[in-house]
Amino acid sequence: MAQETVVIIVGAGPAGIATSACLNLLSIPNIVLEREDCCASLWKKRSYDRLKLHLAKQYCQLPNFPFPCDEPTFVSKNGFIHYLDNYVSHFNVNPLYGRSVESASYNEADRKWYVVAKFGVLNGVDDAEEVYVGEFLVVATGENSEGFVPEVDGLGDFRGKVLHSCQYENGAKFSGKDVLVVGCGNSGMEIAYDLSNWDARASICARSPVHVLTKEMVQMGMYLLKFFACDIVDKTVIFLSKLKYGDLSQYGLPMPKEGPFYIKGTTGRSPVIDVGTIGKIKTGQIQIMPSITTIDGDNIEFASGKIKRFDAIVFATGYKSTIRKWLKDDKGDLFNEDGMPKRKVPNHWKGEKGLYCVGFAGMGLFGISNDAQNIAKDIKHNFDLLQLINPSIL
Ligand X SMILES: NC(=O)C1=CN([C@@H]2O[C@H](COP(=O)(O)OP(=O)(O)OC[C@H]3O[C@@H](n4cnc5c(N)ncnc54)[C@H](OP(=O)(O)O)[C@@H]3O)[C@@H](O)[C@H]2O)C=CC1
Ligand Y SMILES: Cc1cc2nc3c(=O)[nH]c(=O)nc-3n(C[C@H](O)[C@H](O)[C@H](O)COP(=O)(O)OP(=O)(O)OC[C@H]3O[C@@H](n4cnc5c(N)ncnc54)[C@H](O)[C@@H]3O)c2cc1C
| Torsion sign over Cα 102, 365, 231, 218 | negative
Distance in Å, CB of 268 to ligand 3IO, minimum: 7
**Is residue 183 involved in binding ligand X (CB under 6 A)?**
yes
Identify which of residues 26 and 229 has a Cβ nearer to ligand 3IO in the complex. Answer: 229
Provide the minimum distance between the beta carbon of 18 and ligand 3IO in the complex, in angstroms, as a whole number. Answer: 15
264 binds, among ligand X, ligand 3IO, ligand Y, none (CB under 5 to 8 A by kind): ligand 3IO
Should residue 221 be labelled a site residue for ligand X when binding is judged by CB under 6 A? no
Q: Does 264 bind ligand 3IO (CB under 6 A)?
A: yes
Measured CA to CA in angstroms, residue 53 lies from 18, 139, 146, 364 at distances of 18, 24, 20, 10
- Among the residue ranges 26-34, 47-55, 64-72, 328-336, the one whose residues contact ligand X (CB under 6 A): 47-55
Measured CA to CA, the distance from residue 360 to residue 343 in angstroms comes to 11
Under the binding rule (CB under 6 A), the answer on residue 54 touching ligand 3IO is yes
Q: Distance between CA atoms of 103 and 117, rounded to whole angstroms?
A: 7
CA–CA gap between residue 210 and residue 351 (Å, rounded): 33
The smaller minimum CB distance to ligand 3IO, of residues 51 and 313, is found at 51
| Span of 13-21, 196-204, 276-284, 359-367 interacting with ligand 3IO by CB under 6 A | 359-367
The answer to whether 4 touches 131, Cβ cutoff 8 Å, is no
Rank residues 228 and 366 by Cβ distance to ligand Y and give the closer one: 366
**Burial class of 99 by CB neighbour count within 10 A (0 to 12, 13 to 18, 19+):** buried
Which of ligand Y, ligand 3IO, ligand X, none is residue 98 near (CB under 5 to 8 Å by kind)? Answer: none
Work out how close the CB of 109 gets to ligand Y at its nearest, in angstroms, rounded to a whole number. 25
Beta-bridge mates of residue 299: 296, 309
Q: Is 299 left (phi over 0), alpha (psi -120 to 50) or beta?
A: beta
- Residue 316 as a binder of ligand X (CB under 6 A): the answer is yes
Task: Rank residues 229 and 307 by Cβ distance to ligand 3IO and give the closer one.
Answer: 229
Find the part of the chain contacting ligand X (CB under 6 A) among 48-56, 246-254, 278-286, 344-352.
Answer: 48-56
Name the DSSP class of 92.
T
Tell me phi and psi for residue 208, to 5 degrees: -130, 160
